[in-house]
Structure 1
């Protein structure tokens, strides 16, 4: 059985459990996970439709031939001079989806693609993918684990390269460039490289720029790359020479927050309990107002995907879920500290992908 066949079987089990008649996925991460590819995404309606016993793609003729190199699913083709209406009606008839009463729509699909579906199934109840494809994507198998581990080790190497280039007088953008070059040399695509020196580190999503890095400035380095359809994400702290007064104390608080979240993350625990554990440490230390974001996010085909480790998330954590633990403290006009690791949840707690310590890198 191929990976696609296995995932279709899992999806159909979820559809049966949720009493779903039809799942419609557009070109994007959900389709990539299910089929191992997705066609070029543009304004031409294109999606895959899955029922209990069939699967078929609505496909622009321009993309059909190339897509056949990646899938053997049947296609309802349409050309620009015909439009997609008649092809979609044929798809509904051939798959039996014309009588669907409960449908799942890809929440990332273009609105006009979704409208094509709902216009032809006006009496169907519509939900999104949270309990079907989304739920399945959250639980990684061992093949996905191996690819995520590979990506994490590439990020470790890229972080080390960043440290090697971190010197007084160098600009943030130059360090980021070295990190990106490291990803490329390893066969990965650079996805992001936040380098925030001194006061810039107090902005969690600082736009890396021309700031010249000086001695004594703590530097936030949040980086990620992608290969084999998966990605990495890691944040570490570095400083040239001696950090400013009070830095070590705040770093220790953030590390304690990470450890509290690691201890709280267990199968059967709600995601919000992990966020609460991380947040409580920082609040008790008097820095609660400076922890300004969620504790974590899932990672896999996408850099940000469920589960989200937030104060309001009722998601029950399960073995195989992959997510970040990344609390932070951001002190305006001084510095910011974020320590981030990606973990996979095992029966006895989180396994960290990275092999880099979270200690301050002193250069």
Structure 2
């Protein structure tokens, strides 16, 4: 990804639609989407400022040479000796000679940088960049789809490496190491690896630990890596030897919930309707109290980003959006089951990225 005039034009279009006169972004995913790059975020204030006709960067002198070589925009440079206030003022003046009316502020910006900007702008309208850059990021183009698909297929292979290693006597950490090795074999850094065995599976965000796998364990495996700057995220189930009592019934319920959410997800549908479709299946089966999280989240430059598929989300799903569908049932003291697919929404419904079946892998 590189600085795209098309993306700047799209950003300015949505700024006009929302009455925004200034978009201010910090190093992170929003800036990366616009520039195809972002400098390392640290305590030195760095901004991308986009106005109706001009865009500039405000950067610390220690990073100016590197940023200038990567970004084809005017730089307003500040030094540690002088501080960022003057450079920020000149940068704002360059993109908004008439002054700001409404600023779209990167919600991930450090508080000190955000307050410095807001103090300079004074009493102006404010919104978060989720309404501008964030809204644009939700719909993926063909290049983004290709990258996310490649990331998902790499995760498939890493998951298979974990399955091959799975056996009684190994710890959760050892299974996770095998999965990380599966990522490394593809030159794909592992971003996270959750291995939750037996009763630990009842904790949706269990921290992989030293519990030893035993025959009869159900194992939740939730993994992600980074391929070409884009993440993967998937969850599959594994069984050590034989399934615990009641496992098949619960797995079938979660599978039906996945299918119900898939059937509900269509362009024009409100996100909470997809959550309801999955939740109703689980509640009707008598496990409603054990589904303790949202049905899904968006995925793009970040593992978690809009749209969020929650019981209250009013986001309207659109063709090209990428998100997870991951209902789960977590029974304290027994086991947990989560099945997660990343999908891209097409005109006729979701297209799944992974090629790995959702049936539980059974070790021998």
Q: TM-score, normalised by structure 1?
A: 0.98
Q: Give the unaligned 5+ runs of structure 1.
A: none
| Structure 1 runs (4+) greater than 6 angstroms displaced | none
In 1: Cα distance, 2:242 partner to 2:87 partner: 67
- Render the CA deviation track for 1:58-110: whole Å, top value 9, x for unaligned: 00000011112211111100000011111111112222255110110000000
Match for residue 223 of structure 2?
A: 223
In the TM superposition, 1:80-159 aligns within 5 A as 80-96=80-96, 99-159=99-159
Match for residue 275 of structure 1?
A: 275
In the TM superposition, 1:1-20 aligns within 5 A as 4-20=4-20
Match for residue 305 of structure 1?
A: 305
In 2: Cα distance, 1:228 partner to 1:106 partner: 24
Cα pair 1:170 1:212 within 8 Å, conserved: yes
Greater Cα shift, 268-277 or 178-187 = 178-187
Q: Matched residue of 1:67: which SS?
A: helix
Measured at CA, do residues 341 and 97 of structure 1 come closer, stay the same or move farther in structure 2, by a change above 3 Å?
farther
Cα pair 1:98 1:121 within 8 Å, conserved: no
Match for residue 197 of structure 1?
A: 197
Q: Matched residue of 1:80: which SS?
A: coil
Match for residue 42 of structure 1?
A: 42
Greater Cα shift, 309-318 or 234-243 = 234-243
Cα pair 1:92 1:98 within 8 Å, conserved: no
Query: How far off is 1:347 after superposition?
Result: 0.2
Measured at CA, do residues 227 and 311 of structure 1 come closer, stay the same or move farther in structure 2, by a change above 3 Å?
same
In 2: Cα distance, 1:89 partner to 1:360 partner: 58
Q: Matched residue of 2:130: which SS?
A: coil
Is 1:355 aligned to residue 362 of structure 2? no
In 2: Cα distance, 1:359 partner to 1:208 partner: 22
- Render the CA deviation track for 1:194-239: whole Å, top value 9, x for unaligned: 0011000000001001010011100000000012121000000011
Measured at CA, do residues 111 and 164 of structure 1 come closer, stay the same or move farther in structure 2, by a change above 3 Å?
same
In 1: Cα distance, 2:3 partner to 2:111 partner: 29
Q: Matched residue of 1:58: which SS?
A: strand
In 2: Cα distance, 1:131 partner to 1:97 partner: 24
Is 1:236 aligned to residue 240 of structure 2? no
Q: Give the unaligned 5+ runs of structure 2.
A: none
Match for residue 323 of structure 1?
A: 323
Greater Cα shift, 339-348 or 226-235 = 226-235
In the TM superposition, 1:155-194 aligns within 5 A as 155-194=155-194
Measured at CA, do residues 80 and 3 of structure 1 come closer, stay the same or move farther in structure 2, by a change above 3 Å?
closer
Cα pair 1:40 1:63 within 8 Å, conserved: no
In the TM superposition, 1:246-261 aligns within 5 A as 246-261=246-261
Q: Matched residue of 2:207: which SS?
A: coil
In 2: Cα distance, 1:39 partner to 1:146 partner: 24
Query: How far off is 1:130 after superposition?
Result: 2.4
Query: How far off is 1:2 after superposition?
Result: 6.3
Is 1:25 aligned to residue 21 of structure 2? no
Measured at CA, do residues 98 and 207 of structure 1 come closer, stay the same or move farther in structure 2, by a change above 3 Å?
farther
Greater Cα shift, 333-342 or 236-245 = 236-245
Q: Matched residue of 1:103: which SS?
A: strand
Q: Matched residue of 2:181: which SS?
A: helix
Q: TM-score, normalised by structure 2?
A: 0.98
Q: Matched residue of 1:99: which SS?
A: coil
